[in-house]
């Protein structure tokens, strides 16, 4: 009798182990807004392969490209609540959700892309990462998104050239303030709608980096790209905090390692493909112009900083760290 009982118990224990063994395998869904031919699409595919290898298939990541899982603000909310596990996000749309992330959305806050990475690798990056993780969107690695510049049907050389233009921006009040401060009319809009809006004249212009300008065909409906480089916004491979923290330490290290390796790959691809994207759009007829003096653009942003810091005085410390980082 006793033996029978213990055999039953053993059977139950084995069944439980089996069940929990199955439960510990995770099939994650990843959001990516870009299509084939964009560096981040290749990097997210690489990330998926790396996760599978590093976790011996215990965690799989299925990447959904082209924004099919929703717009960026929607997908961010999904990752925050754990309905989607992971994604390649731009920090711009994270700002309205996590105040600290807004540091990178202040125009001209960074001197260059390397400067931006130095800031992220320092104390400011730690503060931002913690705040993002606390909000449910934990950054595993930072990736490059170059600098954003204006494009329109005429060259833009001074803030006065933006006056009266309707310019599409990503969802973040800092960008609407930025355009208003130049005398333009900001139009927040989902990325997927911008090409049509440019084509039909619903907007007069937009702003982005070369790979994105090319990948979704904005260059086909635009004549001039002006190198204002007013925003240098990093992106992340970000995971739902709870799902990540529920993993064993070993699995966490494997997933983080995969993200870091995918980020190195992304940065290499970015360097090559953003040059190429510029050449491709020029070959297609887009006129690219340098902005000889960015001073007037920077000067116009004083009002944006003043207004923002008056409403968010606790952000002054992050701004000061970024500005004093060499
Ligand atoms: C691209 C970013 C993407 C944004 C898009 C936009 O990679 O995350 O959604 O710009 O302007 O450069 O909405």
**What DSSP string runs through 263-314?**
HHHHHHHHHHHHHHHHHHHHHTTPEEEE-S--HHHHHHTHHHHHHHHHH-GG
DSSP H helical ranges for 55-160 = 72-81, 113-120, 123-134
CA-nearest residue for atom 12, ligand 1, is: 212
Q: What is the mean pLDDT of residues 313-325?
A: 98
Classified by CATH at the fold level, domain 2-97+135-144+235-276 comes out as: D-Maltodextrin-Binding Protein; domain 2 (3.40.190)
Residue 72 in contact with ligand 1 by CB distance below 6 A: yes
Tell me the pairing of strands 137-143 and 205-208: unpaired
> According to the model, what pLDDT value does residue 126 have?
98
CA-nearest residue for atom 3, ligand 1, is: 90
pLDDT at 278 over 80: yes
pLDDT at 161 over 70: yes
The structural domains of the chain, with segments of one domain joined by +, span: 2-97+135-144+235-276, 148-232+284-324
Same fold, 2-97+135-144+235-276 and 148-232+284-324: yes
- pTM, entire model: 0.92
Tell me: the pLDDT tens digits for 241-260? 999 999 999 999 999 999 99
Backbone angles phi, psi at 172, to 5 degrees: -175, 125
Contact 205, 153 (CB under 8 A): yes
Q: Higher-confidence residue: 18 or 229?
A: 229
Which whole-number Å values give the CA distances from 138 to 31, 49, 90, 290, in the listed order? 14, 20, 13, 37
- Atom number, ligand 1, closest to the C-alpha of residue 90: 8
CA-nearest residue for atom 2, ligand 1, is: 90
CATH class of domain segment(s) 148-232+284-324: alpha beta
User: Which percentage of the chain shows pLDDT scores above 70?
Assistant: 93
């Amino acid at each position: 009798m006793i033996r029978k009982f213990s055999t039953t118990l053993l059977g139950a224990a084995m069944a439980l182990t089996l069940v929990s063994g199955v439960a510990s395998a995770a099939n994650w869904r990843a959001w990516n807004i870009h299509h084939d031919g964009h560096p981040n699409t290749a990097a997210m595919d690489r990330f998926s392969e790396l996760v599978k290898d590093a976790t011996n298939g215990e965690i799989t990541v299925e990447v959904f490209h082209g924004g099919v899982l929703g717009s960026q603000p929607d997908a961010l909310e999904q990752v925050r609540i754990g309905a989607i596990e992971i994604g390649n996000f731009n920090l711009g749309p994270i700002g309205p959700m996590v105040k600290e992330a807004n540091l990178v959305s202040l125009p001209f806050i960074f001197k260059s892309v390397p400067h931006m990475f130095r800031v992220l690798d320092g104390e400011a990056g730690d503060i931002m990462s913690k705040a993002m993780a606390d909000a449910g969107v934990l950054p595993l690695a930072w990736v490059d998104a170059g600098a954003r510049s204006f494009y329109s049907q005429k060259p833009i050389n001074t803030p006065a050239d933006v006056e009266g233009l309707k310019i599409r921006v990503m969802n973040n009040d800092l960008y609407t303030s930025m355009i208003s401060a130049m005398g333009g009319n900001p139009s927040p809009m989902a990325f997927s709608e911008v090409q049509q809006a440019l084509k039909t004249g619903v907007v007069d212009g937009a702003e982005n980096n070369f790979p994105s300008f090319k990948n979704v065909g904005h260059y086909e409906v635009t004549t001039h790209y002006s190198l204002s480089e007013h925003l240098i916004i990093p992106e992340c491979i970000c995971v739902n905090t709870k799902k990540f923290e529920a993993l064993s330490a070993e699995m966490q290290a494997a997933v983080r390692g995969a993200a870091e390796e995918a980020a190195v790959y992304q940065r290499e691809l970015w360097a090559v493909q953003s040059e190429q994207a510029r050449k491709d759009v020029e070959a297609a007829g887009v006129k690219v112009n340098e902005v000889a003096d960015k001073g007037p653009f920077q000067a116009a942003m004083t009002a944006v900083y003043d207004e923002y810091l008056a409403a968010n005085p606790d952000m002054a410390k992050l701004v000061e760290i970024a500005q004093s980082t060499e």
